[in-house]
């Protein structure tokens, strides 16, 4: 039951993360400007008159409010609500008598706390008008929930012991931390709408190191599109945000060359090769996102790739730190001979 539930919740968490990226990329984050309902109603259909009034006030459906954007925003909230219910169910199963070990209860409790905090971040994302720090934290919260679910699911299975896997602990952890930093930088790019600040590739605005302004680009406590002083955020600041994300991607690529070298002689080499494949796919998606001018499907796939890459590194770290290999143990089957009676 735990294994099935954690798998279902992890798959749904993946859908919720990608759906959230789709909502953000399609500029539907304020399709319903309140929380948890839409103009105080359970669905956009019930708030049709309020939405129509807001559309008329902004001069048409080209702005942040429209019926389609309201449904996108609420659809994401409904999916997140179902995920919260699954995690609450997992928490109850883990804490009931005979529900499992203390470790299982700790992970289930962390999951419940994480999803509750994630709900609060979702509310603040809307009520604080897409402040970049809150939007980025909301993304990281969703990825944290997904990572915990992946770890929980993998730990529920019986794997073959492989003490040699522990030799990959430091490389696996270094790779995980590097990808976490890179995802945070990518979330900051997306939250500040800086994906096209460098519209060319591999150069950035025609230079290896373009003109950049770092004073306001990574200032956390500011409004969307503004400096800390309330002025319009300059293009050079957006360029700095985008350029740092690209530069760190090169570092991650070099780091994983070392991780693969270390993994070659370990029982986790195939898993590490799979991680490397996801990394190459993710870098390619990032390149095409820029070269094709931020098409919505490619940009959403870039978010999907980041989530899958993170999940694969969580799995790699699980096996490296537990001294196991990704091969299920064969369960012995007791054969009971049949006794034939006298003929």
Give yes or no: residues 142 and 246 share one domain.
no
Q: What pLDDT sits at residue 336?
A: 42
Give yes or no: residues 250 and 173 share one domain.
yes
Q: Is 281 contained in some domain?
A: yes
Q: Is 164 contained in some domain?
A: yes
Q: Is 220 contained in some domain?
A: yes
Q: Is 283 contained in some domain?
A: yes
Give yes or no: residues 228 and 183 share one domain.
yes
Give yes or no: residues 73 and 178 share one domain.
no
Q: How far apart are CA 75 and CA 66, in angstroms?
A: 14
Q: How far apart are CA 237 and CA 230, in angstroms?
A: 14
SS (H, E, C) 303-325: HHHHHHHHHHHHHHHHHHHHCEE
Give yes or no: residues 119 and 177 share one domain.
no
Can 223 be counted among the known catalytic residues? no
Q: How far apart are CA 224 and CA 135, in angstroms?
A: 10
Give yes or no: residues 185 and 264 share one domain.
yes
Measure Cα distances from 56 to 34, 38, 69 in Å: 18, 17, 15
pLDDT digits (tens, 9 = 90+) for 286-311: 999 999 999 999 999 999 999 999 99
Give yes or no: residues 264 and 286 share one domain.
yes
The residue annotated as part of the active site, out of 50, 57, 73, 325, is 73
Give yes or no: residues 167 and 69 share one domain.
no
Q: Is 341 contained in some domain?
A: no
Q: What pLDDT sits at residue 18?
A: 96
Q: 157, 184, 199: which is the final residue of a domain?
A: 157
Q: Is 333 contained in some domain?
A: no
Q: Is 336 contained in some domain?
A: no
Q: 157, 176, 210: which is the final residue of a domain?
A: 157
Give yes or no: residues 139 and 235 share one domain.
no
Q: How far apart are CA 60 and CA 232, in angstroms?
A: 25
The domain of 199 spans 160-328
Give yes or no: residues 118 and 103 share one domain.
yes
Give yes or no: residues 221 and 297 share one domain.
yes
Domain count, the chain: 2
pLDDT digits (tens, 9 = 90+) for 124-160: 999 888 899 999 999 999 999 999 999 999 998 889 9
Q: What pLDDT sits at residue 329?
A: 80
Q: Is 10 contained in some domain?
A: yes
SS (H, E, C) 211-246: CCCCCCCCCCCCCCCECCCCCECCHHHHHHHHHHHH
DSSP state of 160: E
Q: 102, 129, 157: which is the final residue of a domain?
A: 157
User: Tens-digit pLDDT profile for the chain (343 aa)?
Assistant: 788 999 999 999 999 999 999 999 999 999 999 999 999 999 999 999 999 999 999 888 888 889 999 999 999 999 999 999 999 999 999 898 876 678 888 999 999 999 999 999 999 999 888 899 999 999 999 999 999 999 999 998 889 999 999 999 999 999 999 999 999 999 999 999 999 999 999 999 999 999 999 988 998 888 999 998 889 999 999 999 999 999 999 999 999 999 999 999 899 999 999 999 999 999 999 999 999 999 999 999 999 999 999 999 999 999 999 999 999 886 534 444 444 444 4
Give yes or no: residues 93 and 4 share one domain.
yes
Q: What pLDDT sits at residue 341?
A: 46
């Amino acid at each position: 039951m735990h294994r099935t539930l954690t798998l279902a919740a992890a798959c749904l968490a993946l859908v919720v993360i990608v759906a959230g990226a789709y909502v953000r990329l399609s500029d539907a984050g304020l399709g319903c400007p309140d929380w948890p309902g839409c103009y105080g109603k359970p669905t956009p259909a019930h708030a049709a008159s309020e939405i129509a009034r807001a559309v008329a006030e902004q001069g048409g459906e080209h702005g942040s409010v429209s019926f389609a954007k309201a449904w996108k925003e609420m659809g994401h909230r409904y999916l997140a609500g179902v995920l919260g219910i699954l995690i609450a169910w997992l928490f109850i199963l883990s804490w009931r008598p005979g529900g499992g070990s203390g470790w299982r209860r700790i992970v289930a409790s962390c999951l419940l706390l994480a999803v509750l905090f994630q709900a609060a971040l979702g509310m603040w994302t809307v009520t604080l008008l897409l402040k970049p720090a809150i939007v980025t934290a909301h993304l990281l919260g969703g990825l944290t929930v997904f990572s915990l679910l992946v770890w929980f699911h993998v730990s529920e299975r019986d794997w073959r012991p492989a003490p040699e896997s522990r030799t990959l602990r430091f490389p696996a952890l270094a790779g995980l931390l590097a990808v976490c930093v890179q995802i945070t930088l990518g979330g900051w790019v997306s939250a500040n709408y800086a994906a096209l600040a460098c519209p060319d590739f591999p150069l950035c605005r025609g230079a290896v190191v373009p003109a950049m302004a770092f004073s306001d680009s990574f200032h956390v406590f500011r409004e969307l599109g503004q400096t800390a002083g309330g002025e319009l955020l300059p293009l050079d600041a957006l360029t700095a945000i985008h350029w740092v994300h690209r530069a760190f991607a090169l570092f991650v690529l070099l780091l994983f060359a070392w991780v693969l070298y270390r993994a070659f002689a370990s029982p986790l080499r195939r898993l590490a090769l799979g991680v490397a494949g996801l990394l190459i796919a993710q870098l390619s998606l990032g390149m095409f996102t820029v070269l094709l001018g931020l098409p919505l499907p490619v940009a959403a796939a870039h978010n999907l790739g980041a989530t899958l890459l993170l999940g694969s590194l969580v799995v790699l770290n699980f096996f490296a730190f537990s001294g196991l290999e990704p091969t299920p143990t064969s369960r012995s089957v007791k054969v009971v001979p049949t006794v034939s009676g006298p003929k």
